[in-house]
């Protein structure tokens, strides 16, 4: 379990640096609301980015982004709503995924802006 946690933390750090390099301001990392967590909350101009980071050592079992389920999307929506309310923000909101593959001395980053639009159902 510790190795999986370490891989995830590395991926989140890589994703945060990537987002900063493309001009985003990181507002929060690992922000918690009840049992939910937002990996990265960032701002790009007038848009709030809720970023789910998926990190794997390979894509043998599928691309990392394919593991963001409908259930996870609903959880992200609930936590994002709480973040917005708590911080009294009035910004457009976009849900992104950054998938990171770390393996064999190299890394691959795939940023998917507007990856999903969660629903309440």
Residue 76 lies in a domain: yes
Residue 79 lies in a domain: yes
Residue 6 lies in a domain: yes
Structural domain span for residue 110: 2-116
Among the ranges given (2-11, 46-55, 104-113), the one the predictor scored with the smallest mean pLDDT: 2-11
Count of domains in the chain?
Answer: 1
pLDDT of residue 36: 95
pLDDT of residue 93: 96
Mean predicted confidence (pLDDT) in 54-83:
87
- With cut-offs at 50, 70 and 90, classify the pLDDT of residue 60: low
Please write the tens of the pLDDT for every residue from 8-44.
899 999 999 999 999 999 999 999 999 999 999 999 9
pLDDT of 113 higher than 70: yes
- With cut-offs at 50, 70 and 90, classify the pLDDT of residue 120: low
CATH of the domain at 89: 3.40.1350.10
Total-model pTM: 0.90
Given strand 92-103, what is the order of strands in its sheet? 25-33, 36-44, 47-56, 92-103, 106-116
pLDDT of residue 64: 74
Residue 121 lies in a domain: no
Residue 58 lies in a domain: yes
Residue 46 lies in a domain: yes
Please give the mean pLDDT across all residues of the chain.
90
Residue 47 lies in a domain: yes
């Amino acid at each position: 379990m510790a190795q999986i946690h370490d891989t995830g933390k590395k991926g989140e750090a890589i994703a945060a640096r990537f987002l900063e390099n493309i001009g985003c301001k990181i507002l929060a990392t690992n922000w918690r609301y009840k049992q939910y967590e937002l990996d990265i909350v960032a701002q790009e101009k007038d848009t709030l980015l809720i970023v789910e980071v998926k990190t794997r050592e390979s894509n043998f079992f599928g691309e990392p982004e394919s593991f963001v389920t409908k259930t996870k999307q609903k959880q992200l929506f609930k936590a994002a709503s709480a973040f917005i309310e708590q911080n009294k923000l009035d910004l457009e909101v976009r849900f992104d995924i950054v998938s990171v593959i770390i393996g064999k001395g190299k890394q691959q980053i795939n940023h998917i802006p507007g990856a999903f639009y969660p629903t309440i159902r």
